[in-house]
Chains A and B, each alone.
Chain A
């Protein structure tokens, strides 16, 4: 009897952290705005069913405590999206540090399997300049995404998420995979599909990773 009691207690002690973490996403009702699985219908917040592939955990922890606006007119499913009614934007709830850390840990475990790690080499200054030119002129990315101009100021359109701090926010491998095949993540994005050759795609990935808020002046 005693053995069974100890077994139950030890099982509960071992299992409880998993249980308490698992319930935090439910407790905070993340699924009210975010898809946690691709089979759900579109929701107004960004998809989180590949959160572990996409986000850097440090950024996510910070974001959950101090949410910043990445999409000035809301996400693409927001009914006000095309109206640019910024005042109607719903702010993300603010979490305390403990909850932010725990939810981040839980979100990092939500991943889509099967992405090979790509070999992405750092860029030379010349390659950065070339890619910046292509980012703005060949592919027109800047029409919808804010990046950082030569004067160190945010510059670009607002319909896509801001890339001003993308290097701290996104995982390199996710950017490379998004550019290769966005349909894995979103059936209906508002961004054009680009068929870049691998060299260009990986150069773009690395360029996007150079965009960090520390570079703002």
Chain B
């Protein structure tokens, strides 16, 4: 009896331990500080961005919206409300891009890095993959602007 009890504690303990180190849905990821240099997918080019907008004004076009629908909407939803078709299968819900309360606390640079290098690079959930090999920088800047349009907010 006691033996069985000990065996089951061992089994489930192992399972819980294993689960705790796996999964993109782990909450702990939200608290992990961002690595200084994103290491994802062999990206070696240093990112030189300041928090100030130093480049030409970026314009959101029909193509930007199309790009959002094609890639981002899978998780963030057609209207950016964080309710895409994958959303309910992820433990960390995709960001709702229409909520200003949180997004105004983030800079454009943080948005850019999250898209280019993935969620982990800015200390957020690993569910968000890196799009830097799929989308070029100017498209990513446009998406940042589009998210600002969706939340109707700017960085504070």
Contact = CB atoms under 8 A, between A and B. Distances in A.
A165 B42 CA distance: 29
A41 interface: no
B86 A137 contact: no
Contact of B86 (A158, A193, A195): A158
Interface string B26-37: 100100000000
A84 B85 contact: yes
Given A140-B118, A143-B86, A150-B15, A195 B127 contact: no
A82 B74 contact: yes
Given A82-B78, A193-B133, A144 B41 contact: no
A52 interface: no
Contact of A137 (B71, B126, B130): B126
Contacts of B19: 150
A12 interface: no
B74 A159 contact: yes
B22 A138 contact: no
B41 A194 contact: yes
A159 B130 CA distance: 17
Interface of B: 15, 18-19, 21-24, 26, 29, 40-43, 69-71, 73-75, 78, 84-86, 89-90, 118-120, 126-131, 133-134
Tell me whether chain A's interface is mostly helix, strand or loop, or mixed. loop
A45 interface: no
B70 A190 contact: yes
A88 to B, nearest CB: 13
B85 A159 contact: yes
Interface string A165-191: 000000000000000000000001010
A77 to B, nearest CB: 11
Interface in A110-153: 132-133, 136-144, 146, 149-151
B74 A136 contact: no
Most chain B Cβ neighbours within 10 Å, of A137, A139, A141, A156: A137
A193 B134 CA distance: 5
A133 B23 CA distance: 7
A215 to B, nearest CB: 15
Contacts of B126: 136-138, 140
A205 interface: no
Contacts of B26: 137
Nearest to B69: A82
B114 to A, nearest CB: 12
